[in-house]
Chains A and B, each alone.
Chain A
Amino acid sequence: MKSSGLRINNAELWGGAIWFAISLFVLEQGRRLGLGTVNAPGMGFMMFWLGIVMAALSLGIAVQAIKHEGPSVRALWTDTRWVKTLIVVVTFGLYGYAFISLGFLLSTIPLMLVLLRAIDPVRWSIAIPLAFGAPILVWWVLERLLQIQLPTGIFEIG
């Protein structure tokens, strides 16, 4: 591996920096919770020491990133279908919001339709029966057979 020096657009360096910030947070939380003493360790004892270990490890990763050439942040998503991944993540996030308010069936059927059509489009003749059929079947199994209650939403459907 080539030595590249300090390059800001280095995904590994950013990774190390984020982990370092997380480890400082853990360390501080451990300190706040109370370290106690060695013969009576407090709630924050292990967390505090883990924070220190994590900080050391993340610094190690950052140093390696500076010493050796790592991929740029952009390179991680080059030649990938990241837009499709983003669509799934956003759809799933919206689904999380709709799940309680619309209920299981009214939120899951559109979710399935989006997933079946927006990523690698499945023919409508398959997508529609599947988008309706799978959630209804799952609902029936859970509600009727296993008696697991699913949210019915404001329209009380399901």
Chain B
Amino acid sequence: MDLLGQVANGFAVALTPVNLLYCFIGVFIGTLVGVLPGIGPISAMSLLLPVTLSGTPESGIIMMAGIYYGSMYGGSTTSILVNIPGEATSVVTCLDGHQMAKQGRAGPALGIAAFGSFIAGTAAVVGLMVIAPFLAGFAVAFGPAEMFSLMILGLVIVTFLTQGSMLKSLLMASAGVVLGLIGLDSITAQPRLTFDRIELYDGIGLVPVVMGLFGVAEVLTNIEQGVKRTITNTKISNLLPNKEDWQRSAGPIGRGTVLGFFLGIIPGGGAVIAAFASYALEKRISKTPERFGKGAIEGVAGPEAANNSAAGGAFIPLLTLGIPPNVVMALLLGAFVIHNIQPGPLLMVQRPDLFWGVITSMYIGNVMLLVLNLPLIGMWVQLLRLPYNILFPMILLFTVIGVFASSNNVFDLYVMLAFGLIGYLTRKLGYEAAPLVLAFVLGAIMENKLRTALIISAGDLTTFFKKPISAICLAIAAIMLLMPLIPQLRRKREAVALEDGNN
């Protein structure tokens, strides 16, 4: 069937009343968690992972995807009005967005963020539709060696881009792989590191690990530091940007869309780096770079477009290769696995309804988000006034419910608390959780691919270097690992390294 026929089928799936409802719930919750600092798409998706069981796979995955790209929209509201990014992806929006709010231009800042997000989000879906089928055809040629090397590259990119010591990030990634190996061995079906606990035979659950490391640890850190927020007292009116605003923003939105989309595809890249890269690009090519940081609308339009576009691009490695490029996509992989569906090159052939249904739902979701984020902006602002001392018990309550509902097992509550403590302590010492979580998800798959590749090649270790794709991935990974050893390159890494906690 041709592309248009597939798209039409996708719309037929996405436009069913139940899928429309799930899509709305997803983008609504996404906007909500994007607006609220301290709770992000990871926590929300972990919480709702069990809910996906109650419906069809399409409905659940449409909702989960909606939370992700919805949070990209919502994150800008807090950045502009409170100067606290709702999401890591919106950090850069604070720079000019909040300055605009202080100058009484909160309306146009919020407006251009929503319109830029809509344009970029929609364009990314078009890109996804065009590139994903092509890449899926190409990905069929990926054997275990290529898959292993690609996952190694993804992990190295994540460790490279996270803030602080690369040694620490690599250590966290290694620990993540070990944690991912707990449970029954995928080849021999023998238990590993289970210590005779039957709960560990299926491995440690993703939900309690993520909720602990991100949800509970975030709350513990915020309680310790005492979060205070001041909302800019500006009247939010005239959300529609004027002609001059549009003239200034058109270029940044276009460039941010293209840049974000391709950065989103790279494993380990994603929305955070896309937003920063877009800001740097706009500032560099601007004729008036001195305006940046003082309320330049380009500094809002570009990054907001880039992070939304990257959110769309990030679906490509998951849907075509079955490899999650970031933690959020790892959770989405979890949603697929819950329904016994393996995303990858064969997904388009085996489940075209699901594949195209999810993609086309993003068009609909983007329209819903525009409606949610412009006329209802006042509601989100009111939500920002919710004090943290009320918010954090609620977050903890939801983490408890999310974890228990996902497994119906109190053991997972202890796992969550343990990982909450681990996350809190490792943050104190400057260890980032993102590499651990991504490695945890990839760990068992990586090991399986490594062993399979070695068995197929009769123990020939050079198999990883003889295959071109595998060799290229490993070469890039090696270069990135060696970069911090060269002082000049180390400084460059520190300049781009990002706090990717909630990506």
Residues of A within 8 A of B (CB): 11-12, 15, 19, 22, 26, 29, 33, 37-41, 43-47, 50, 53-54, 57-58, 60-61, 64, 76, 80-82, 84-85, 88-89, 92-93, 95-96, 99-100, 108, 111-112, 115-116, 119-122, 126, 130, 134-135, 138, 142, 146, 148-151
Interface size class for chain B? 35 or more
User: Which of A76, A93, A148 is the one whose CB lies under 8 Å from B417?
Assistant: A93
CA distance A29 to B181 in the complex (A): 12
Cβ contacts under 8 Å, A64 to chain B = 165, 167
Chain A residue with the shortest CB-CB distance to B395: A115
In the complex, B378 has a CB within 8 A of chain A: no
Cβ contacts under 8 Å, A85 to chain B = 220, 223-224, 424
Cβ contacts under 8 Å, B410 to chain A = 96, 99-100, 151
- B455 & A15 in contact (Cβ 8 Å cutoff): no
Given A54-B171, A57-B170; A120-B389 close (CB under 8 Å): yes
Cβ contacts under 8 Å, A150 to chain B = 404
- A39 & B459 in contact (Cβ 8 Å cutoff): yes
In the complex, B237 has a CB within 8 A of chain A: no
CA distance A38 to B421 in the complex (A): 38
Cβ contacts under 8 Å, A60 to chain B = 167
CA distance A89 to B389 in the complex (A): 16
Given A89-B421, A142-B405; A12-B390 close (CB under 8 Å): no
Given A22-B175, A151-B410; A119-B188 close (CB under 8 Å): no
Given A46-B177, A61-B165, A64-B167; A37-B459 close (CB under 8 Å): yes
Q: How far is the CB of B404 from chain A (nearest CB, A)?
A: 7
CA distance A93 to B36 in the complex (A): 26
CA distance A84 to B392 in the complex (A): 13
CA distance A146 to B402 in the complex (A): 13
- B429 & A11 in contact (Cβ 8 Å cutoff): yes
CA distance A47 to B185 in the complex (A): 12
CA distance A84 to B424 in the complex (A): 13
Cβ contacts under 8 Å, A99 to chain B = 404, 410, 413
CA distance A33 to B193 in the complex (A): 9
Residues of B within 8 A of A (CB): 50-51, 54, 165, 167-168, 170-171, 174-175, 177-178, 181, 185, 187-188, 190, 192-193, 216, 219-220, 223-226, 387-390, 392-394, 396-398, 400-401, 404-405, 408, 410, 413-414, 417, 420-421, 424, 428-429, 431, 446-447, 450-451, 454-455, 457-459, 461
- A81 & B401 in contact (Cβ 8 Å cutoff): no
Q: How far is the CB of B193 from chain A (nearest CB, A)?
A: 6
Cβ contacts under 8 Å, A84 to chain B = 223-224
User: Which of A33, A43, A81, A108 is the one whose CB lies under 8 Å from B226?
Assistant: A81
Given A112-B397, A151-B410; A19-B428 close (CB under 8 Å): no
User: Which of B178, B388, B454, B457 is the one whose CB lies under 8 Å from A50?
Assistant: B178
CA distance A138 to B401 in the complex (A): 8
Cβ contacts under 8 Å, A54 to chain B = 171, 174-175, 178
Q: How far is the CB of A13 from chain B (nearest CB, A)?
A: 11
Interface residues of chain A: helix, strand, loop or mixed (majority): helix
CA distance A88 to B457 in the complex (A): 53
Chain A residue with the shortest CB-CB distance to B190: A43
CA distance A99 to B398 in the complex (A): 15
- A92 & B396 in contact (Cβ 8 Å cutoff): yes
User: Which of B51, B171, B390, B401 is the one whose CB lies under 8 Å from A57?
Assistant: B171
CA distance A146 to B51 in the complex (A): 8
- A58 & B171 in contact (Cβ 8 Å cutoff): yes
Cβ contacts under 8 Å, B451 to chain A = 41, 45-46
Given A43-B192, A85-B220; A122-B390 close (CB under 8 Å): yes
User: Which of B170, B175, B178, B392 is the one whose CB lies under 8 Å from A115?
Assistant: B392
Chain A residue with the shortest CB-CB distance to B184: A43
- B405 & A81 in contact (Cβ 8 Å cutoff): no
A–B pairs, 26, beta carbons within 8 Å: A11-B429, A29-B192, A39-B459, A41-B451, A41-B454, A43-B185, A45-B451, A46-B177, A46-B450, A50-B177, A50-B178, A53-B170, A76-B429, A81-B223, A85-B220, A85-B223, A88-B220, A95-B400, A99-B404, A99-B410, A120-B387, A120-B388, A122-B387, A134-B393, A135-B397, A142-B401
Closest 8 CB pairs of A and B: A39-B459, A120-B389, A38-B459, A115-B393, A57-B171, A46-B447, A85-B224, A41-B451
CA distance A157 to B446 in the complex (A): 46
Cβ contacts under 8 Å, B420 to chain A = 89, 92
Cβ contacts under 8 Å, B455 to chain A = 39-41
Q: How far is the CB of A131 from chain B (nearest CB, A)?
A: 8
- A80 & B225 in contact (Cβ 8 Å cutoff): yes
CA distance A140 to B419 in the complex (A): 28
- B459 & A81 in contact (Cβ 8 Å cutoff): no
Cβ contacts under 8 Å, A53 to chain B = 170, 174
CA distance A12 to B388 in the complex (A): 31
User: Which of A50, A57, A80, A130 is the one whose CB lies under 8 Å from B224?
Assistant: A80
